[in-house]
Structure 1
């Protein structure tokens, strides 16, 4: 049994066990798909007995299911191949979810410790500093020697037991769930679709009489964005583009099959010059590409980049894997995924340092498992806004998660029955995205999709509303923005018992966001603060 702790020595303990139905393979070639390496004939035969589950191409890592009990034998064969750097049995946590460890460690020392002493402790432990982590004082991302393997868990535990260490855990990564469900922008205002009135919108069009989000920067952290799209082409639209995953740098464009981020960015802030408008078309877009595993240090680095380069709003439409929403017996529904310390500190950094100390506003997709969001350490974090999805009839989308952490909801897809296929938004241009050039799926050129959805779409929708709020009142703190959303939301599906005495529903939060009402509340708060200051 292996374990590590998040939140310090008395924090949440994650336990991991060997599993003989999992094989983790790391190929020599980085940046290539893990399942198409040029393997030898014996290795290919061994790999044919495996079923791909997920992978991290930027690290050359793949996670596979094997016939029960066969994992050790398959690993032996694969380790003989010169194209394979490592193959071994996989780990599952106490909830059954596959988890991949690296030979890297996140460490945070006490704030009062000199840097030289921090470096000395790491060196004594055999760790090499890869980079300092600027989201907290005396925080480091360090690497253990190659071949350390599972001893990295014991190494991290020994460090955490020291009096001068606050936090320490190995870098653990999981499969990332992009929370999407597969020119009618009915979510923005009243629409007629196939002769039917659709009025279950977020009242965005009415808000545009006051503001379209000018002066606000929305950062979308996702699997890459097609920044060549005409809806992101206005002067100064794209700011500080970045890829937090390999290859790291200034190019946030998506890789093969990575269509999710372009659609999310369009929902938030597409210009509306052609066929799709975002909720905040006047806002600027900071595209940050992240395709590393859930919990990676790259994930934390993405937040720091956003904060340091002027993001006001950060939209995250991803998280732990969801259970099948249509199957209440799916054991994934009961998995608890903690927020790891490296990412938690990065979120705190965004709250404490963002927007000159007023805090970045972070929206998070609640999830598409029709399960409890409270098991998801990301969306349930107190410092983010967990967004649920509601449908074109003003009710909960069938897949949308529920729970105490839900703050608000936003119109999105539903599945059958539905009057609409989903949300019309930007797609990767041409034949690269969800729509490969079929006007029944969007437009004939393939630049737009008509069926984006899930809480993936709801989350950037609320990020766009936040941009409108901040444009109306840039002095609001991050928590005051949450209050504006709460005060202005519409209570939908308002049946007896749906909302508690505080006005909260476990399905809708405080209700469906009302952009026009939110802008009015924000503007009134600004007028009041000016009046108080003058008197």
Structure 2
């Protein structure tokens, strides 16, 4: 099963804040200007807004994520025009006045009835009016229209939004189709497995992604962005999120801290601004579009963003979680692709890595370290906070990376793992080929009575240690043939001896390393 990655935490104290925190000393609403809803219909002509300087969208002053990322400085050159972003989600409100002009209805699809209306269907709204506003919120962060005097503005306000709604059925085949569509440039996915502390594999979705990488964008590959998840667990539990074809995006809040909910691990690429679930009523959420009306979307609990009470429920300031970080990153990638449509998915990943801003590097809890190529990496921040101005600047004249190559080698071990031992056992594989590393996978075959006892480290020839498995939170799964991923070795040389260290650190169970395999993706330079 699949689920969304935004949080639903509302306390009685927080609810009281709604009604006490929206008045000034004179008892008047501290609200921004009243919104007059402009009705649209499918017969209304679509007209994209054009760049017109500082946005006149009235909620723009509350969109703090755009300010700290300096997005406004990019819009005079790039707005995402001509770039197609699929929102693979619960649906996108087709008639929302801040989304309608940017939705590509020819490509959008609702799987429950075969309609090109990407909105949540009636069953979705009846069963869960709150959660099914999720896709509309993501779409607004990516590409709400700008300079139209209404609501909010997206990171890429002239992008083409393609609403794909496989959650209307939940069928594996529909997710495979939505991810394998070849008429888009970017795929935004703020979802993952619905149980946080079990190993998660999703072959149908991976088949769709592999199709898009191989054939999408005339062979340059669709850019797939996924939310790392909101459980505060190791993102390496998921083979989908760790795939070399996926950009695994974590969250960072308004103060630059990684929130406790954001999943961590050595497969995190970068982090992007996201809402802080504990300070939503202090305007620390992401302000975006919501399902129309007071009874659907984030307003369905009758809890309203204080400064938006007069907006009739069509907008929210409560979007949060890694679900809100991914569409920020998707919007940034859209700006990059407008700047240079020839970028491959590998080029985009390279640029994000080499322009990200390392943050809080002296805080030990974030586990920053420098790899053998001199690049800083943290399992919480990845390579750092996404940096739109620098990423777009590098994208403009970027020369495509040399073709990707790979080397794979396996080792039979057949070695018992000592119980209750931090030292564990080691096994080595020597790689003769020299590649500049882009991604490393290991496939382990470990028999274990209790997989939550197992720690796994991978050590490169340069001495860099990637902690693959270490948090002891898994309650279910099988490590026999399981694949883990690491980005920590980026730009190191693959040649030399690679070492896996496996330990059973808790008492009372038997475990056994049968074999392991390493797969290194990189390029000759």
- TM-score computed with the length of structure 1 as normaliser: 0.58
Rounded to whole Å, the distance in 2 between the matches of 1:233 and 1:479 is 32
Question: Structure 2 vs 1, CA of residues 395 and 372 (structure 1 numbering), >3 Å: closer, same or farther?
Answer: same
Rounded to whole Å, the distance in 2 between the matches of 1:366 and 1:243 is 25
**80, 86, 108: which one aligns with 1:213:** 80
Residue 500 in structure 1 maps to residue 366 in structure 2: no
Aligned to 2:290: 427
Rounded to whole Å, the distance in 1 between the matches of 2:269 and 2:71 is 19
Instruction: Please tell me whether the aligned partners of residues 362 and 385 of structure 1 are also in contact (alpha carbons under 8 angstroms).
Output: yes
Aligned to 1:289: 165
Question: What is the RMSD computed on CA atoms of the aligned residues?
Answer: 2.2
Aligned to 2:153: 277
**214, 217, 222: which one aligns with 1:352:** 214
Aligned to 2:263: 401
Question: Structure 2 vs 1, CA of residues 360 and 464 (structure 1 numbering), >3 Å: closer, same or farther?
Answer: same
Rounded to whole Å, the distance in 1 between the matches of 2:134 and 2:401 is 41
Question: Structure 2 vs 1, CA of residues 381 and 235 (structure 1 numbering), >3 Å: closer, same or farther?
Answer: closer
Q: Provide the secondary structure at the position in 1 that maps to 2:377.
A: coil
List per-residue Cα deviations over 1:368-408 (Å, max 9, x = no partner). Answer: 00000000122111101000000010010120000011001
Residue 382 in structure 1 maps to residue 244 in structure 2: yes
Rounded to whole Å, the distance in 2 between the matches of 1:443 and 1:467 is 31
Aligned to 2:355: 488
**274, 277, 301: which one aligns with 1:415:** 277
Rounded to whole Å, the distance in 1 between the matches of 2:358 and 2:143 is 25
Instruction: Please tell me whether the aligned partners of residues 262 and 427 of structure 1 are also in contact (alpha carbons under 8 angstroms).
Output: yes
Aligned to 2:3: 177
Rounded to whole Å, the distance in 2 between the matches of 1:527 and 1:398 is 37
List per-residue Cα deviations over 1:153-183 (Å, max 9, x = no partner). Answer: xxxxxxxxxxxxxxxxxxxxx2x22101243
Rounded to whole Å, the distance in 2 between the matches of 1:227 and 1:253 is 6
Residue 315 in structure 1 maps to residue 188 in structure 2: yes
List per-residue Cα deviations over 1:199-240 (Å, max 9, x = no partner). Answer: xx3232222232111110010000111011011232775541
Aligned to 1:250: 116
List per-residue Cα deviations over 1:434-466 (Å, max 9, x = no partner). Answer: 125845163421110011010101011111110
Residue 510 in structure 1 maps to residue 383 in structure 2: yes
Rounded to whole Å, the distance in 1 between the matches of 2:401 and 2:177 is 38
Q: Provide the secondary structure at the position in 2 that maps to 1:400.
A: coil
Rounded to whole Å, the distance in 2 between the matches of 1:315 and 1:528 is 24
Question: Structure 2 vs 1, CA of residues 210 and 267 (structure 1 numbering), >3 Å: closer, same or farther?
Answer: same
List per-residue Cα deviations over 1:256-300 (Å, max 9, x = no partner). Answer: 111110001111111133111111111110000121676711110
Q: Provide the secondary structure at the position in 1 that maps to 2:208.
A: helix
Aligned to 1:187: 65
**252, 255, 267: which one aligns with 2:141:** 267
Instruction: Please tell me whether the aligned partners of residues 267 and 425 of structure 1 are also in contact (alpha carbons under 8 angstroms).
Output: yes
Question: Structure 2 vs 1, CA of residues 292 and 275 (structure 1 numbering), >3 Å: closer, same or farther?
Answer: closer
Higher RCO (CA < 8 A, seq sep 6+): 2
Question: Structure 2 vs 1, CA of residues 297 and 422 (structure 1 numbering), >3 Å: closer, same or farther?
Answer: same
Instruction: Please tell me whether the aligned partners of residues 98 and 289 of structure 2 are also in contact (alpha carbons under 8 angstroms).
Output: yes
Aligned to 1:302: 178
Aligned to 1:446: 313
Rounded to whole Å, the distance in 2 between the matches of 1:526 and 1:270 is 31
Q: Provide the secondary structure at the position in 1 that maps to 2:308.
A: coil
Aligned to 1:364: 226
Higher deviation after alignment, 477-486 or 201-210 = 201-210
Following TM superposition, by how much is the alpha carbon of 1:415 offset from its aligned partner in structure 2, in angstroms?
A: 2.9
- TM-score computed with the length of structure 2 as normaliser: 0.59
List per-residue Cα deviations over 1:303-339 (Å, max 9, x = no partner). Answer: 23x32xx21000001111254xxxxxxxxx2x10113
Residue 473 in structure 1 maps to residue 340 in structure 2: yes
The unaligned stretches of length 5 or more in structure 1 are 1-173, 190-200, 324-332, 530-535
Alignment: residue pair count: 329
Q: Provide the secondary structure at the position in 1 that maps to 2:376.
A: coil
Q: Provide the secondary structure at the position in 1 that maps to 2:342.
A: coil
Q: Provide the secondary structure at the position in 1 that maps to 2:330.
A: helix
Following TM superposition, by how much is the alpha carbon of 1:500 offset from its aligned partner in structure 2, in angstroms?
A: 3.1
Q: Provide the secondary structure at the position in 1 that maps to 2:298.
A: coil
Rounded to whole Å, the distance in 2 between the matches of 1:207 and 1:281 is 11
Rounded to whole Å, the distance in 2 between the matches of 1:239 and 1:277 is 23
Question: Structure 2 vs 1, CA of residues 284 and 499 (structure 1 numbering), >3 Å: closer, same or farther?
Answer: farther
Question: Structure 2 vs 1, CA of residues 364 and 528 (structure 1 numbering), >3 Å: closer, same or farther?
Answer: closer
**447, 455, 460: which one aligns with 2:322:** 455
Question: Structure 2 vs 1, CA of residues 375 and 452 (structure 1 numbering), >3 Å: closer, same or farther?
Answer: same
Rounded to whole Å, the distance in 2 between the matches of 1:354 and 1:527 is 16
Rounded to whole Å, the distance in 1 between the matches of 2:355 and 2:185 is 20
Instruction: Please tell me whether the aligned partners of residues 175 and 205 of structure 2 are also in contact (alpha carbons under 8 angstroms).
Output: yes
Q: Provide the secondary structure at the position in 1 that maps to 2:288.
A: strand
Q: Provide the secondary structure at the position in 1 that maps to 2:215.
A: helix
